[in-house]
Structure 1
């Protein structure tokens, strides 16, 4: 690996892929020209620099629809990928086929620790790596069209031993922020740890990916409340952290979410694309300015993104972290511009509308109404003393999901009903929220609340949650979560929320399946008849070496199409 590492630091990552083009991202060791050859097509790009690191985004065009083409990556004329002697199959670019049913993998929350006995004992088996090995071996899993990472790919605040060693080699751990990340250089090292393990690196080079951040990409409870934000801004280290976190996210994750046309609309990317000099363009100052502006004024930059898969599905991936309005008198999980964009994206005319949001839109009712109650108390429904206690509880117990932003929750619930009822074009067979964050997996189904609205829907409204990929919930929290899933508990807490002046939602819902606490990766398949099948798979090392997992199935949920739906409207589960 030494020769390759002299030129290629990280990647390649196969990112945005459509019917005839593909985006490939790399980090190189120095300024260079990067080329990608796929069949008869060759594309090149020069690197750009940020904080002493070098990156390239290469777009390969002219590929055939529904084709699988092996590709090679070269840096300054020398092939760096695939590596000589690799045990993994050749990386391929698999373009979309509009005639084939969509298959999408999704999940969130993956720590980067060794895949040995100690790592498995502390954090379980990495479900993503187990899936990668199954694909590499031809173990039976079908190739997904896309893997959607719904946050916490990197943990900037809960660092591994390897990350702590790197931090300690640069600065004292006794000075804030201590063992947490401080700057771009530390973020770059953290992404390297997250994406360089050989099996996962191979997977990311050959399966297209889309991403969105969650709190640990920056810090636990990021943008929970106005009080939380003021506390962070009073520290000596927060400004550098947030600028470095958002700037590195733009480089490592966000750029690859965009199509070529969308990148062309990005002002910073326009500078990179327009640079026609031999020397490498250094965007450090412009990148930091973008990140600081995006933090100070969330309306200045959009991290959300959307794409269509023919008429089969529209995927809308929404930023539920950076776009928040936190003023106590005007809280919303999406600012007005973001809500308007989201409103515009939620349209009918597709068989399925898939909404990627790192935070579950529909928590178990018991958890949802606890958070809604807490927001009401923090807003003064029970007086000032209770409000101060409520803020301590909000931060201490991570009460910062959609449920804790009730105005935004109700707005999105209403938009969802409009789509599902056919008010925005042909009604989809399903509207599915895809989420992570909560370190347990489940499926919930929703319906119009007849006490609030007379809307009728024909399709399904579902919440499908997959979390964690590798970072299990402490056992005591498992018991609490299972308790909160109980429908009787949900009804009791809902009555408590009413006492804090929480208005009724136009949606009712319940948890149909789960919770499951395994490290999981979820696989969503559009079925030929128009329904969905969602499976959760986990890695298993029983009777095997700790770094040699197989896949086992945790759960399957079948969601029939409209023609085959059960009379009671519920999904058929197996």
Structure 2
């Protein structure tokens, strides 16, 4: 059996009104060509750790157009695949001023889509959505963008397929065991995540934007200084971190960048400047770059901002940009907070803030995390600090609520936007999040100005265990609020600067959410995949919840 020339992709990444970026991984050094509407665009591959990648910039497209395309590798067509049963892959450019349609979600495990995989991990909501899209002759309901809010790959909880690959390379009894160790293993994991035909077709047709969360590297990544020091004492952490961040830059972050942002990116400038006959090998340069990005977070920005018609989307790095010094703990450091402050502005109908970690947790959990941060940092003495740190890591108490200084600063920014102190107040300010493995909608209690919403969609495919569902549900209801609030006050945590309440949820199904700017307001919708009878191949899509956030009158 011959190795296919195209390993992964094409993936349609950044798209604006007249251009698009298409990403591929090839089997060898190659020239990659995109053909569309009688025109061609090409790029040479570059190499990282003996893998080959290209990003083709397709420009000169008409605004609001939909154009089928094909991909060649060294002059041979590799996409669409001859045996494909899916519609032609297309590039749909943005229509200036058109309202935004966005899908989002997080937490998706890479297990097979057969009966066993569906029994252990549920039906993949993204794949179900892809099959629904492919079955529709028109494209009126397709989103402008799918936003993946973290945990697209799980480096620390691996499937049987991934473990089979790892065990063929090294002894699983040696650290890090069944977890990922290096770039080669990350590359294989991305292949498992993105090679299913239905999902692969969707990723070739709908633009995507992405941001990491902890499992892209490891559970509780940068939860605290104590956690980081524990990891640094292991023999394998440094290799995992370099491989994880390097592969993230290649497989996820590069496609987030606009052409102008790529032109300013130090790694991309090396690619663009290369004009030799030999393929550019970026292995050492990329490894050194991500080492520095981890050691000096202010040296590189993973966050980004996009404007779509009447909406602004800000996507925040809530992992690398953390400051873990106990005396200055922050979920986003001063540099990142300043960048966010400049972009939290009015003048849009809808302001969307993508953050993998929910900004507004259920209030019972919020107060619990605020209490835990205070005690883990010594509010109740040294013995309790040690207990608090163990609880923090055991229960994943490391969301915005567990970084109170950052929570309060962003709450102030948000309130100022909502009050019209940073330009005309939007109709809505909505935080889009994942991570917690259940979904819900919450709203800040206000009588004027913008409506401030938290919308969570998690998981796409990785359901929470039943005991943890009960724990999460209890913390989502008012009965848990007062006890945890009293704990937080007793530890010296001041009352939150805003108050909020849940308005829908929680629900625990695998799901994918959508956000649409409509004349009636911001429409939020969650769908899930349900298998048809006993056959796992073609699940049907059903709606779980829908909420329309109307503007204040």
Q: Same fold (TM over 0.5)?
A: yes
Deviates more, 1:112-121 or 1:208-217: 112-121
8 Å Cα contact 1:41/1:60 also seen in 2: no
2:286 corresponds to 1:287: yes
Partner of 1:146: 145
**Per-residue CA shift, 1:226-270, capped at 9, x if unaligned?**
000000000000000000000000000000001000011001110
Match of 2:4 in 1: 6
1:446, 1:462 within 8 Å by CA — same for their partners in 2?
yes
- Check the 8 A contact 1:150/1:213 in 2, yes or no: yes
2:546 is paired with a residue whose SS is strand
What is the distance in 2 between the residues matched to 1:488 and 1:410? Answer: 24
Q: 1:483 aligns with which of 474, 490, 501?
A: 474
The answer (yes or no) to whether the contact 2:99–2:308 under 8 Å persists in 1 is no
SS of the counterpart of 2:315?
strand
Which residue in the other structure is 2:232 paired with?
Answer: 233
Provide the residue aligned with 1:64 in structure 2: 62
Distance, in Å, in 2 between the alignment partners of 1:232 and 1:418 is 39
Residue in 1 aligned with 2:243?
244
1:440 to 438, 441, 450: 438
Given the alignment of the two structures, is residue 509 of structure 1 paired with residue 500 of structure 2, yes or no?
Answer: yes
Is the Cα contact below 8 Å between 1:41 and 1:62 reproduced in 2? no
Q: Which residue of 2 aligns with 1:451?
A: none
Q: Does 1:301 align with 2:300?
A: yes
Runs (4+) of structure 1 exceeding 6 A deviation are none
Distance 1:39 1:562, change over 3 A: farther
Matched, 1:550 2:540: yes
Aligned equivalent of 1:566? none
Q: What are the Cα deviations for residues 141-183 of structure 1, in whole angstroms up to 9, with x where unaligned? A: 8100000000000000000000000000110001100000000
Does the 8 Å CA contact 2:99/2:311 hold for their aligned counterparts? no
Which one of 485, 507, 512 corresponds to residue 521 of structure 1?
512
SS of the residue 1:31 aligns to: coil
Counterpart in the other structure of 2:159: 160
For structure 1, list consecutive stretches of 5 or more residues without a partner in the other structure.
Answer: 449-455, 564-574
SS in 2 for 1:428: coil
Q: Which residue of 1 aligns with 2:52?
A: 54
Query: In the alignment, which residue of structure 1 is the partner of 2:21?
Result: 23
Is the CA contact (8 Å cut-off) linking 2:12 and 2:204 kept in structure 1? yes
Residue in structure 2 matched with residue 538 of structure 1 by the alignment: 528
Correspondence 1:191-206 to 2 at 5 A: 191-206=190-205
CA distance in 1, matches of 2:106, 2:448: 30
Match of 2:453 in 1: 462
Query: Is 1:314 aligned with 2:312?
Result: yes
Partner of 2:181 in structure 1?
A: 182
Aligned to 1:173: 172
The verdict on how the C-alpha distance between 1:71 and 1:107 changes in structure 2, with shifts beyond 3 A counting, is same
**Deviation (angstroms), 1:385:** 0.6
Offset at residue 101 of structure 1 (A): 2.1
Within 1, Cα distance between the matches of 2:171 and 2:343? Answer: 47
* Shift, 1:106, TM fit: 0.1
Please state how far the C-alpha of 1:6 moved relative to its aligned partner.
Answer: 2.6
- Tell me how far apart the structure 2 counterparts of residues 78 and 318 of structure 1 sit (CA, whole Å): 40
Give the whole-Å Cα distance in 2 for the aligned partners of 1:419 and 1:17: 28
What's the counterpart of residue 462 of structure 2? 471
- 5+ long unaligned stretches in structure 2: none
Please state whether the residue corresponding to 2:33 is helix, strand or coil.
Answer: strand
DSSP-derived class of the 1:165 partner: helix
Report how far residue 132 of structure 1 moved: 0.2
Whole-Å separation in 1 of the counterparts to 2:59 and 2:39? 7
Write the mapping of 1:251-290 to structure 2, written as runs, cut at 5 A: 251-290=250-289
CA distance in 2, matches of 1:139, 1:398: 44
Cα distance between partner residues in 2 of 1:6 and 1:235: 38
Deviation at 1:562, TM superposition (A): 3.4
Q: Is the 8 A contact 2:445 2:501 kept in 1?
A: no
**Paired residues of 2:432 and 2:454 also in contact (CA < 8 A):** yes
For the aligned residue pairs, the C-alpha RMSD in angstroms reads 1.2
CA distance in 1: counterparts of 2:344 and 2:272, whole angstroms: 31
Of 351, 364, 367, which residue of structure 1 is paired with 2:365? 367
Separation in 2 of the partners of 1:348 and 1:539?
Answer: 37
Give the TM-score of the pair, scaled to structure 1: 0.95
* Counterparts of 1:360 and 1:8, CA distance in 2: 37
Structure 2 Cα separation of the partners of residues 42 and 468 of structure 1:
39
- TM-score for the superposition, normalised by structure 2: 0.98
In 2, Cα distance between the equivalents of 1:125 and 1:387?
41
Q: 1:40: how far off?
A: 3.4
How far off is 1:41 after superposition? Answer: 3.2
Q: Is residue 532–residue 538 contact of structure 2 (8 Å, CA) maintained in 1?
A: no
Contact 2:125-2:461 at 8 Å conserved across structures: yes
Query: In the alignment, is residue 115 of structure 1 matched against residue 125 of structure 2?
Result: no
Query: What is the DSSP-based 3-state SS (H/G/I as helix, E as strand, rest coil) of the residue aligned with 2:536?
Result: coil
2:422 corresponding residue in structure 1: 424
C-alpha distance in structure 2 between counterparts of 1:299 and 1:316, whole Å: 18
Give 2:99's aligned residue: 101
2:334 counterpart of 1:336: yes
Measured after TM superposition, the shift of residue 457 of structure 1 is: 4.1
Shift of 1:544: 4.7
- The corresponding residue for 1:453 is none
**Alpha-carbon contact 2:522-2:548 (below 8 Å) kept:** yes
Deviations 1:94-141 (CA, angstroms, capped at 9, x unpaired): 111124321100000000111111111110000000000000011888
CA distance in 1, matches of 2:334, 2:44: 38
**Structure 2 CA distance, aligned partners of 1:457 and 1:272?**
50
CA deviation profile, 1:315-361 (whole Å, cap 9, x unmatched): 00000011100011110000111111111111111111100000000
* Residue pair 1:22, 1:93 contacting (<8 A) in 2 also: yes
